C-alpha cells in the first residue's frame, strides 16, 4: 500500500521562521514521521543554521564559565579589583639597605592599586647606603600624598632605616625597638705595611691629588682626613635637615640627638622622633580607623620565584660585590654599626 505524504499549509509566521515561501509544501520537502515524536527537516539552509546555533551555544557557555572562574580567582588571589575586603599594603625593608629599585616599584604599585586603601612601610634595618635610603624616603613622601602611609618599626630601624621612616605620616615603634643613630659613617683600612712585609708594590697613576684618597695601599694623611670630614658633614647635614623638616623640629634640637646614638622606641617617642608605640597590628588598626574601613586585610608584594639555594647564592654575591666596592671606593653610609 502506497503512502502519500500529506501537504502542509504554512502561515506567514511559520514561513518566515523556516525560510519557506508562503503556501503549501509537499512531502518531498517536509517528511512527517508519524511513529516518532520529532520532525526532521531536509532543508540544507535550516540544518546549517542549526549547526551554527549549536556552536555558538557551546562556545558561549564556555566563555561564561571562563569569566566566572576569572572573577573568583581575582577575588581570592588578586588585589581584589573592588571585590571583597579593602586592603592595606605592606612594604618590608629588611636588612642592610644597598639598593632601592624593588622597593620603589612596590611602593608605586600599591600607590596605583585602587583596592589598596593605605600603606605600611615595615622597617627592620640598621640602615645602609646613602642614595638608596634617600630614594626610598622620597618615594614614601610622594606616596603619602596619594594614600595614608605609616611606618612600623620592628627590631631595628636605625640610621638609614629611621631616615626612611621620617617620610611617613605617622611612625610606630615597639617600646624596645632600636632606632635613631642619626649620623654618617665610613670606614677606611690601610694595608700599606702588610704589602711592605710581603714585598708587594702598588703603582697608581692619577690625575688629581685626591683621586685615590682613602686608598688602602697608601698612608691616610691628615689632609685626606679633612677632605673626608667635609664630605661626611654635608651628607650629615642632609640627614639632619630631612629629620627636622619631616618631624617639624628645630635643626638645633635634632643636632643634639644626631650624634650617632641609638634610642629605644620609648625614648625616641619622648624625644619626638617617633609618634606612637605599637606593633604592625596597631599600625593596621590605625589606618583602618583613620579611613573608616571595616573589613581589612594586609597584602604584600608578590614574591620572586627564587628557591632557597638561589636566595643564598644571591646574598653571597651581593656581599662579595659590596666588599669589593668598599675596597676600591670608600663607602659612606647611613648605618648603625653597633651590635
Q: Which residues are catalytic?
A: 159, 211
- CA 213 to CA 228: how far, in whole Å? 9
63 grid coordinates: 566563555
**C-alpha angle 290/295/301, rounded to 5°?**
85
Cβ atoms of residues 157 and 137 within 8 Å: no
Cβ atoms of residues 167 and 157 within 8 Å: no
- CA 264 to CA 266: how far, in whole Å? 5
What are the beta bridge partners of residue 94?
124
How would you classify residue 95: left for phi > 0, otherwise alpha for psi between -120 and 50, otherwise beta?
left
Q: In the 8-state DSSP scheme, what is residue 249? A: -
Burial of 278 (0-12, 13-18, 19+ CB in 10 A): buried
- CA 212 to CA 192: how far, in whole Å? 14
Cβ atoms of residues 251 and 241 within 8 Å: yes
**C-alpha angle 74/77/83, rounded to 5°?**
45
184 grid coordinates: 654618617
- CA 221 to CA 227: how far, in whole Å? 10
How many residues can be counted in the chain?
A: 339
Cβ atoms of residues 116 and 147 within 8 Å: yes
Amino acid at each position: 500500500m502506497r503512502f502519500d505524504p500529506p501537504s502542509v499549509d504554512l502561515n506567514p509566521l511559520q514561513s518566515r521562521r523556516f525560510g519557506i515561501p508562503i503556501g503549501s509544501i509537499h512531502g518531498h520537502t517536509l517528511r512527517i514521521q508519524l511513529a516518532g515524536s520529532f520532525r526532521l527537516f531536509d532543508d540544507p539552509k535550516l540544518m546549517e543554521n542549526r549547526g551554527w546555533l549549536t556552536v555558538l551555544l557551546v562556545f558561549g557557555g564556555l566563555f561564561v564559565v571562563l569569566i566566572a572562574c576569572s572573577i573568583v580567582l581575582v577575588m581570592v588571589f588578586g588585589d581584589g579589583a573592588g571585590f571583597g575586603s579593602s586592603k592595606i599594603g605592606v612594604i618590608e625593608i629588611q636588612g642592610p639597605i644597598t639598593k632601592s629599585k624593588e622597593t620603589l616599584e612596590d611602593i608605586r604599585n600599591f600607590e596605583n592599586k585602587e583596592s589598596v586603601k593605605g600603606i605600611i612601610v615595615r622597617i627592620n634595618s640598621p640602615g645602609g647606603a646613602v642614595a638608596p635610603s634617600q630614594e626610598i624616603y622620597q618615594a614614601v613622601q610622594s606616596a603619602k600624598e596619594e594614600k595614608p602611609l605609616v611606618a612600623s618599626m620592628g627590631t631595628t630601624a636605625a640610621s638609614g632605616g629611621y631616615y626612611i621612616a621620617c617620610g611617613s605620616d605617622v611612625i610606630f615603634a615597639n617600646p624596645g625597638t632600636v632606632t635613631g643613630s642619626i649620623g654618617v659613617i665610613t670606614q677606611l683600612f690601610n694595608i700599606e705595611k702588610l704589602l711592605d712585609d710581603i714585598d708587594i708594590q702598588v703603582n697608581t697613576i692619577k690625575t688629581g691629588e685626591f683621586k685615590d684618597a682613602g686608598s688602602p695601599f697608601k698612608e691616610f694623611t691628615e689632609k685626606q682626613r679633612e677632605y673626608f670630614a667635609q664630605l661626611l658633614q654635608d651628607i650629615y647635614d642632609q640627614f639632619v635637615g630631612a629629620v627636622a623638616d619631616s618631624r617639624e623640629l628645630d635643626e638645633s634640637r635634632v643636632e643634639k640627638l644626631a650624634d650617632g646614638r641609638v634610642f629605644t622606641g620609648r625614648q625616641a617617642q619622648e624625644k619626638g622622633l617617633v609618634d606612637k608605640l605599637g606593633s604592625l597590628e596597631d599600625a593596621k588598626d590605625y589606618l583602618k580607623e583613620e579611613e573608616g574601613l571595616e573589613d581589612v586585610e594586609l597584602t604584600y608584594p608578590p614574591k620572586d620565584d627564587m628557591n632557597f639555594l638561589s636566595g643564598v647564592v644571591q646574598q653571597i654575591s651581593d656581599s662579595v660585590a659590596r666588599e669589593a666596592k668598599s675596597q676600591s671606593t670608600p663607602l659612606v653610609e647611613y648605618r648603625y654599626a653597633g651590635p
